[in-house]
Amino acid sequence: MLGLMQDWPLTVDRIIDHARSWHGGIEVVSRSVEGPMVRTTYREIHGRAKQLSNALLSLGVLPGDRIATLAWNTGRHLEAWYGIMGIGAVCHTLNPRLHADQLCYIINHARDKVIFTDLTFLPILIEHRAKLDCVEHLVVMTDEAHMPADFPALCFETLLAQHSADCAWGGFDENTAAGLCYTSGTTGDPKGVLYSHRSNFLHTLGTMGADVLGISARDVVLPVVPMFLANAWGVAFSAPAAGAKLVMPGQHLDGASVHELIETEGVTFSAAVPTVWRMLLQHLRETGGQLSTLTRVVIGGSAVPEDMVRAFRDDYGVTVTHAWGMTETSPMGTQSSPNRAVAAMDAEEQLRYRLKQGRPPLMIDLKLVDDQEQVLPHDGQASGRLKVSGPFVVREYFREAERDILAADGFFDTGDVATIDDQGYIQITDRAKDVIKSGGEWISSIEIENLAAAHPKAAMTAVVAIPHPKWDERPLLLVQLKPDERADRSEFLQFLDGKIARWWMPDDVVFVDHIPLGATGKIDKKLIREQFKNHVVQPIAAGLSPEEPNAEEAPADAPGPFPPEAAGASPARASTLTMVALSGALMGAYLWRSFGPARR
């Protein structure tokens, strides 16, 4: 027997329909690529998105066609999203921080028919246009006054003006493809994750829960996380669904620009990767600025450092929740919101849980397995591969049907190594490809990084494995110092002493000008490992040694605590990483635009 309820397909056009009908006057504020602040409303975005749908239909776009966007977080980008998805086409968000060769590969692999681009990224499309044989139209997301001369492209505003807002949306199966996002390609070619309307709608409902993003109609939301990174963590759906005011930062994500938007627009909630928050905190310290309205931030993308959580909490009264997810999970997987037991703890006890990746919401199932696929207990000690299942978790990669990525029980292997404690909080201890296996035992590179990052002289840290003739692998710590700081190895080894097992202690500390970041803002350990695969540990000069009286006794067959030759002082900086830190001039240019000083 079937239930007797209405058949109401879960398609994302219903989200912006709801926003127009019930929150139509709520503002969407954008810092435009051209410079000025632009103010619109959900009602106006809804109408312009329908005009865009008609424009796409006039260009011959059919259901299932992939329509790409290469754009920052703005109201225009939001209009493109809903205009594309509303007619059953697929919105393919392109990550401009990828290398040009990867962008071309992704566009051609997806067979994108139309590309919507901000002015910022037009030069790269002009340079590589001949390689994009599938692309029929380029649409520049600007007005006629800012259109480039002598280049065959369509103007976004002119295109909209030529069409009415009378367009039928939806009417297709909720399992119809809605969005396409490619992984960053850190291991082989990027892989496409094809979201459905149903998966996006269910993900929206999941993130709106109080223990997840918890966005409400009372919030002013600043999604610093880009719309080209896994649906901006769902905020581009959940904020309109809730009726929250949206503040779109455009291309200026430096500390001063983010702070200005928070204060002038009364932002209460924001989401971003740690890099952005570190720049904001640095700006606040340098200027004496305050956060008068911000109450909550979600941090994801990589492990959140303890000093960052403390700074937000103690200096500015802002609550940090840590989130974990991936492109393959749409992306929300877990969030570190306190449950009843954790909420009853004092602030310092709670901090231990806030630094973990958190608990899964409804519609996400997790488990840990060992190398024999045996399920491991939730005791906070057993460490294994993290697997995930749910209605917004990937089933197969786009155009790779022959590749089976699910286990027999339907779970997807995330590639993360983790523990789960008795409160249900997961803690990612490493990526499977980044974990350091020394003498048959695992060492967490993430844990060492986070501890070393708390050193007052450290701007950023990274830990990778280097080969060892006896122990197979040993940890190498890279440190990027804050401006005008100097340090030697012994300072950091002494700082770590007592905080980690002595056999976890890095064999060497190398000071670098820059730690390279990948296209999603995470540390590019693949690049670092290649750069330091032949690293030779420098002879000891001074510092810790295994013979210190308070040294922890290590098992007789365990590596370390660390070789005596690893503990010496060395102020030299390994500037060779600078040449490759941003994977070429294009990557550097895009990261500068994204994370560099604001240009107004």
Best CA proximity match to 162, nearest among 55, 35, 321, 313: 55
Report the pLDDT value the prediction gives residue 100, as an integer from 0 to 100: 87
Whole-angstrom distance, CA of residue 117 vs CA of residue 365 = 37
Is 437 a residue of the active site? yes
Number of neighbours of residue 292 by Cβ within 10 angstroms:
11
DSSP states along 549-588: TTPPPPPTTS--S--GGGS-----B-THHHHHTTSSHHHH
Region of 49 (left: φ > 0; alpha: ψ -120 to 50; beta: rest) is alpha
Whole-angstrom distance, CA of residue 97 vs CA of residue 591 = 7
Report the pLDDT value the prediction gives residue 387, as an integer from 0 to 100: 97
Q: Where are the domains of the chain?
A: 9-27+38-195, 434-595
Is 245 a residue of the active site? no
| Domain 434-595: CATH superfamily, name plus number | ANL, C-terminal domain (3.30.300.30)
Whole-angstrom distance, CA of residue 225 vs CA of residue 234 = 10
581 touches 526 (CB < 8 A): no
| Residuewise pLDDT in 10s, the chain (600 residues) | 999 999 999 999 999 999 999 999 999 999 999 999 999 999 999 999 999 999 999 999 999 999 999 999 999 999 999 999 999 999 999 999 888 888 999 999 999 999 999 999 999 999 999 999 999 999 999 999 999 988 899 999 999 999 999 999 999 999 999 999 998 755 568 899 999 999 999 999 999 999 999 999 999 999 999 999 888 999 999 999 999 999 999 999 999 999 999 999 999 999 998 889 989 999 999 999 999 999 999 999 878 889 999 999 999 999 999 999 999 999 999 999 999 999 999 999 999 999 999 999 999 999 999 989 999 999 999 999 999 999 999 999 999 999 999 999 999 999 899 999 999 999 998 777 787 878 767 788 888 998 999 999 999 999 999 988 877 789 999 999 999 999 999 999 999 998 888 888 999 999 999 999 877 677 888 889 889 988 888 654 433 333 332 333 333 333 333 333 333 333 333 433 332 333 333 333 333 333 333 332
Q: Which residues contact 339 (CB under 8 A, 6 or more apart)?
A: 211, 359, 423, 424
Maximum CA extent, the chain: 80
What does residue 305 show for φ and ψ, rounded to 5 degrees? -70, 145
Of the residues 117, 142, 183, 321, only one is catalytic, namely: 183
Whole-angstrom distance, CA of residue 448 vs CA of residue 461 = 9
Of the residues 373, 437, 530, 576, only one is catalytic, namely: 437
Cβ burial of 58 (10 Å; 0-12, 13-18, 19+) is exposed
Cβ burial of 25 (10 Å; 0-12, 13-18, 19+) is exposed
Whole-angstrom distance, CA of residue 318 vs CA of residue 399 = 43
Whole-angstrom distance, CA of residue 178 vs CA of residue 169 = 13
Best CA proximity match to 436, nearest among 306, 322, 529: 529
Of the residues 265, 328, 449, 491, only one is catalytic, namely: 328
3-state secondary structure string across 473-521: EEEEEEEEECCCCCCCHHHHHHHHECCECHHHCCCEEEECCCCCECCCC
Report the pLDDT value the prediction gives residue 544, as an integer from 0 to 100: 36
Is 321 a residue of the active site? no
What does residue 598 show for φ and ψ, rounded to 5 degrees? -65, 140
pTM (two decimals): 0.80
450 touches 458 (CB < 8 A): no
| Domain 9-27+38-195: CATH superfamily, name plus number | ANL, N-terminal domain (3.40.50.12780)
Q: Using DSSP bridges, classify how beta strands 245-248 and 27-31 pair: parallel, antiparallel or unpaired.
A: parallel
Whole-angstrom distance, CA of residue 581 vs CA of residue 224 = 23
Is 367 a residue of the active site? no
DSSP character for 252? Answer: -
Of the residues 442, 522, 552, 565, only one is catalytic, namely: 442
DSSP states along 65-130: -EEEEE--BSHHHHHHHHHHHHTT-EEEE--TTS-HHHHHHHHHHHTEEEEEE-GGGHHHHHHHGG
